[in-house]
Amino acid sequence: MPGKKILIILIFILLFGGLYYFREKIYVTYVDVILDNRYHGVACENLPSLSDVDKVLRNKENLVNRIKSIRPDEDENHSYISVDVNEPCANKGEIMIRYPSHDDRVKIEIILKDDSFDGIPYNLINN
């Protein structure tokens, strides 16, 4: 019997040790697959300035319009897909793209494969 208890304890340690070791990968997979979001993962100190993000977003108006045209607005007061500047850290920025469904995300990723925001990090968020 003592050998069986030791075996159970070892399995328990290996199982939870493995979960702890792979926790980041598990979390990223959960966010991507279950929540249908994609975060860029760039640290605050490496994000561009807000003014740089604003400038790129203005210069990429055609790209923004292509993304928004995936799901046209039914009325002028509501946008199904939004592309905005976000300030996660003081004076540092990123682009936040919000969309209502996984199909929209796939279409957005296809567009961004051909064109991008000149290296500005962006998040894809399923509302």
Q: Could you tell me the sign of the dihedral formed by the alpha carbons of 14, 19, 24, 30, in that order?
A: positive
- 53 — alpha (psi -120 to 50), left (phi > 0) or beta? alpha
* Total domains, the chain: 2
Residues 54 and 106 in one domain: yes
User: Is residue 6 packed enough to be buried (19+ CB in 10 Å), middle (13-18) or exposed (0-12)?
Assistant: exposed
Name the pLDDT band for 75 (thresholds 50, 70, 90).
Answer: low
Segments in the chain forming alpha helices (H): 2-21, 23-29, 50-59, 61-68, 102-114
pLDDT of residue 74: 64
DSSP 48: P
pLDDT tens digit string along 48-67? Answer: 999 999 999 999 999 999 99
Residue range 21-36: mean pLDDT, rounded: 86
Residues 56 and 98 in one domain: yes
**Top-confidence range, 18-22, 34-38, 97-101:** 97-101
Residue range 13-21: mean pLDDT, rounded: 87
pLDDT of residue 32: 86
Residues 88 and 69 in one domain: yes
- 67 — alpha (psi -120 to 50), left (phi > 0) or beta? alpha
Domain that holds residue 95: 42-126
Say whether pLDDT at 18 is over 80.
yes
Residues 114 and 82 in one domain: yes
Q: Is 43 helix (H, G, I), strand (E, B) or coil?
A: coil
Residues 17 and 74 in one domain: no
Residues 22 and 77 in one domain: no
pLDDT tens digit string along 83-116? Answer: 999 999 999 999 999 999 999 999 999 999 988 8
Say whether pLDDT at 21 is over 80.
yes
Residues 116 and 57 in one domain: yes
Under 8 Å CB-to-CB from 9, ≥6 apart: which residues? Answer: none
Residues 70 and 117 in one domain: yes
Q: Is 99 helix (H, G, I), strand (E, B) or coil?
A: strand
Say whether pLDDT at 17 is over 90.
no
